Chains A and B, each alone.
Chain A
Amino acid sequence: MSVGLLLVQTLNGLELGVLLFLIAAGLTLVFGVMDVVNLAHGVQYMLGAYLAVAFAAATGSFWLAVPLAAAASLLLGAVLERLVFRRLVGADHLDQVLATFGLILLAEEGVKLVWGPAPRSLAIPDLLAGTVPLFGGLRYAVYRLAVLGAGLLVAGLLALLIERTRAGMRLRAGASNAAMLSALGVDVGRLFALVLAAGAMLAGFAGAVAAPIVSVDPGMGGPVLILAFVVIVLGGAGSVRGSFLAALLVGLTDTLGRSLLDAALAGALPPAAARTAGPALASMLIYLLMAAVLAFRPGGLLPARGRA
């Protein structure tokens, strides 16, 4: 594989990584602080994409559609917290899985009723259309670079919020010991509601900015949710910093692994065998990564509870 292609795949991996981070950030806090397993978090990503498509159609502007989709996701997260998630705090994990799986079914069917089962798409805005040259005659889409930049910007703002503000301190404190935090006078339920709504907004924002480069369909949240769970386990549940590291690792491993494995297997195996073994092995890579990391660090890369 050429250096240029490696660069392209690295950028693709980082882009997948930052999108995964935006989704995993809320998920890891909800799981880390309140011990709530939220399978419906992928739905927020999917709805964010649909909302962006709908707002773009209504306003005619991508630049209005993305913030509107993020705001609507925040609102939806707040409503779901009041209606559903508040009741799941302290409940059995099985109850949480059942309730949030129910939300997935509702949301996916609801989307099919409103927008139909066929995939939708969102046009890349003119300002971010086209490609930029990399070396070696390769070109890279401006929009993908913009997604990477926007993701890193949001990650940076989130890091600032979590590392430098009192609300951030409380989040980190709650992720390690929520009962102690409440015994010191912090309303952990309200903190949870904020985290849930903010997490929904981040996932919705990820869906909105991903909409122009993925197929917007009712099932798009599922695969992303699974990757996001790999990210939070790998990073250490409750640790946003760990999630950032893990998201980039998962994005790079998945993207680079696929192309490198193809190249490596093509050299070592007969073409027919390489064509079947390549994708099969590639889809296992992130799980192998997870198993390897957990074997040495059972609490994940940067556990929120300190030494795990």
Chain B
Amino acid sequence: MLEVQDLDAGYGRAQVLFGVSLSISAGETLALLGRNGMGKTTTVRALMGLLRPWRGAVSFAGTRLAGLPPHRIAQAGLGLVPEGRQVFPTLTVAENLAATARPGPWTRARVLALLPRLAERLSHRGLQLSGGEQQMVAIGRALMTNPRLLILDEATEGLAPLMRAEIFRALAALRAEGQAVLIIDKQVAELRRLADRIAVLEKGRVIWHGRSAEADGVERLLHL
């Protein structure tokens, strides 16, 4: 469904990504691992059109995405849960969910069933929420755009263990429903349980990829 081939990207004259290739099939969960500064967020930004790729091809369900503006890429079916959550601070939770919603199977009722904690917070503003609640809003907001591929950049970074568990539980439910997911996180053990496949980025290059079951050496690659 998503095909990334030989992607180069960077900021100014500093190249960050060197020939990154990835693919995700429908219903599949891919975990992208790597230490800080290895190019994970840059990959996401280049996929979403928030950063213009220098070279390479990105196609999604037959549509060429590289070079399109972010809103066209999102409309093609990519739903972003960004690093740092970036919930709209002055909008209520209900408004955060509704503002960018597009028609499809994901409705507010389904999002609230998946993330029940949000049901009690619907009238709270984004800036009044805890980090975990903000992350749930960010996930719900992306699901309400009815994406064919959900992209989570730092899915549980900085969250309390309880919140982390809740979010991984929600992601496992999504996977069971056949939602395709690209996830970035530092919880390697959790990701190995959740993801079908794993790719490891090091200095802007994919240095390993394979099935989660075969990823025994991944911790060593990440210098953990």
Contact = CB atoms under 8 A, between A and B. Distances in A.
Interface of A: 166, 169-170, 172-173, 175-177, 179-189, 239, 304-307
Contacts of A307: 89, 127
Nearest to B144: A184
A180 B91 contact: no
Contact of A306 (B74, B95, B127): B127
B65 interface: no
B130 interface: no
B88 A183 contact: no
Interface of B: 48-50, 69-71, 73-75, 79-80, 82, 86, 88-91, 95-96, 98-100, 102, 125-127, 141-142, 145
A306 B90 contact: yes
Contact of A180 (B75, B82, B102, B127): B82
B145 A184 contact: yes
8 contacts: A170-B99, A172-B90, A176-B90, A183-B48, A183-B82, A184-B100, A184-B142, A305-B90
A239 B86 CA distance: 18
Contacts of B100: 170, 173, 181, 184-186
B46 to A, nearest CB: 12
Given A172-B91, A176-B90, A183-B80, A166 B99 contact: yes
A177 B91 CA distance: 11
A179 B80 contact: no
A223 to B, nearest CB: 31
Contact of A187 (B71, B88, B102, B145): B71
Given A166-B99, A183-B80, A184-B80, A173 B88 contact: yes
Contacts of A177: 86, 88
B70 A183 contact: yes
Contacts of B96: 173
Contact of A183 (B50, B89, B90): B50
The 5 closest A-B CB pairs, nearest first, are A306-B89, A185-B74, A184-B100, A169-B99, A306-B127
Nearest to A185: B74
Given A187-B71, A239-B90, 17 more contacts: A169-B98, A169-B99, A173-B95, A177-B86, A182-B70, A183-B73, A184-B79, A184-B80, A185-B71, A185-B74, A185-B102, A185-B145, A304-B90, A305-B89, A305-B90, A306-B125, A307-B89
Contacts of B50: 179, 183
A71 to B, nearest CB: 29
B98 A166 contact: yes
B74 A183 contact: yes
A175 B99 CA distance: 13
